[in-house]
Amino acid sequence: MTPYISESERKAASRMTWSTVVTHVRETDRCSEQEARRQIGNAIADSKLFPRWTDKPIGSPIPGTKISRAPITSTLIFPYDTPPRDADYWLECEIDPTDPDRVLEPPPYDSSMADKRTAKRLDKTRRYRKPTFDRFHVFRLWPIAKAASTEAEKTDASHASRNDTNIQYNHWLSDFREVHKRYPTREDDEKWGSEHHISRTRVRELRREFLPDEVKKGGAPKKGKPGEK
């Protein structure tokens, strides 16, 4: 019997930290850390990989004091607080010596415009922050199977890929039910599978594993009880 995967576990499993992405690229391409960082930076610059900060930005100091405003709690208030898209940043960014998953945020000024004194003062406000990356995008850019050179490695890669697909499907299933208040039909699932390069055979396996008996065969989904998601 497949173990239940909670919503928080699905979301956590769908994201990768900086150090795990770098390690994955190094192992997949058998390359140095510098080369892995170069590839990651290029993928971000080409809009193939989309990092997010896991924390919220800290408000600017209150005028005339050194006291910072309360941290911003909504991305609607501060919609542009996203990690840099510049490939050079990811190639050269400084890693927190106490946490390999945190990187020093970029300077809050244009280096070509700020004088040394201003730059030095503003540099003191920079902090280490933790970016995360979508696991599906990482594995699509650097497939696990690419690193498998022996039959044992290929088997491990196959298992890892299968588990990753399980997580993706559970995430899709949860989102679909929240929006539509029903389970997806077979056509819904096959369309999702096509968009994510998952075969129809694998989609049908996922439906057998994770859907209730009454909706596995497709057709018109039964409506749930009032308030049921």
Q: Say how many domains are in the chain.
A: 2
The encoded tokens of residue 24 equal 């994955």
Task: Tell me: do 46 and 82 sit in the same domain.
Answer: yes
Task: Tell me: do 129 and 157 sit in the same domain.
Answer: no
Task: Tell me: do 40 and 111 sit in the same domain.
Answer: yes
Q: Is 3 within the bounds of a domain?
A: no
For residue 203, give the nearest of 219, 224, 188 by alpha carbon: 188
Task: Tell me: do 25 and 131 sit in the same domain.
Answer: yes
What pLDDT score was predicted for residue 65? 44
**pLDDT tens for residues 163-212?**
678 888 888 888 888 888 899 998 999 999 888 888 889 889 989 888 88
What pLDDT score was predicted for residue 2? 53
DSSP structure class, residue 104: E
What pLDDT score was predicted for residue 55? 82
User: Rounded distance, CA 105 to CA 116, Å?
Assistant: 19
Task: Tell me: do 123 and 154 sit in the same domain.
Answer: no
Instruction: Give the residue, 109 or 199, on which the prediction is more confident.
Output: 199
Instruction: Look at residues 111, 138, 165 and tell me which one is the last residue of a structural domain.
Output: 138
**pLDDT tens for residues 38-50?**
999 999 999 999 9
Q: Is 114 within the bounds of a domain?
A: yes
Task: Tell me: do 110 and 41 sit in the same domain.
Answer: yes
Task: Tell me: do 85 and 177 sit in the same domain.
Answer: no
Task: Tell me: do 27 and 132 sit in the same domain.
Answer: yes
Task: Tell me: do 30 and 103 sit in the same domain.
Answer: yes
Task: Tell me: do 115 and 154 sit in the same domain.
Answer: no
User: Rounded distance, CA 216 to CA 229, Å?
Assistant: 17
**pLDDT tens for residues 73-95?**
433 334 467 899 999 999 999 99
| Mean of all residue pLDDT scores within the chain | 78
Question: What is the model's pTM?
Answer: 0.53
Task: Tell me: do 43 and 125 sit in the same domain.
Answer: yes
- For residue 53, give the H/E element and its range: strand 52-53
Is the confidence at residue 68, as pLDDT, over 60? no
% of the chain exceeding 70 in pLDDT: 69
Q: Is 6 within the bounds of a domain?
A: no
Residues 6+ apart with CB under 8 A from 168: 14, 136, 196, 198
Task: Tell me: do 176 and 64 sit in the same domain.
Answer: no
Instruction: Give the residue, 134 or 73, on which the prediction is more confident.
Output: 134
- When pLDDT is averaged across residues 61-67 and rounded to a whole number, the result is 45
Is the confidence at residue 7, as pLDDT, over 90? no
Nearest-10 crossing angle of helices 186-195, 200-210: 130
Range of the domain at 182: 150-215
What is the 3-class SS of 63-108, one letter each residue?
Answer: CCCCCECCCCCCCCCCCCCCCCCCHHHHHHCCEECCEEEEEECCCC
Instruction: Give the residue, 143 or 113, on which the prediction is more confident.
Output: 143
Instruction: Give the residue, 72 or 221, on which the prediction is more confident.
Output: 221
